[in-house]
Amino acid sequence: MAEGNPDVPWPFYLWRMLIDGRFQGRGYGRAALDSATAHLRSRPDARELMTSVVPGEGSPLGFYLRYGFVETGEMHDHEHVLRLAL
């Protein structure tokens, strides 16, 4: 997460969570997000987790939407911004 990074306009931003393609679909990404969101939910100042994706083939957009992120309609660094309410 990019907490406190001046290049990111949100306090809590997930930047580039990568799971090797050979191991995708086994629940590792969901487990990693579960751990990260559990940590954030323990913080009184954390209300949302943001991330961004490039849509298209191989995009993690579907994964994030299934997890509960929603599209905001915003763009950040040429990527579509997603928001997860905590």
pLDDT in tens, 25-76: 999 999 999 999 999 999 999 999 999 999 899 899 999 999 999 999 999 9
CA dihedral over 78, 55, 11, 73, signed as positive or negative = positive
What distances in angstroms separate CA 85 from CA 51, 56, 60, one per listed residue? 12, 24, 18
Q: How far is CA 86 from the centre of its chain?
A: 12
What are the residues whose beta carbons fall under 8 Å from the beta carbon of 4, sequence distance 6 or more? Answer: 11
pLDDT in tens, 12-35: 999 889 999 899 999 999 999 999
Residue count of the chain, please give it: 86
Q: What is the pTM of this model?
A: 0.88
Tell me the backbone φ, ψ of residue 64, rounded to 5 degrees.
-65, -40
Rounded CA gap, 36 and 42, in Å?
10
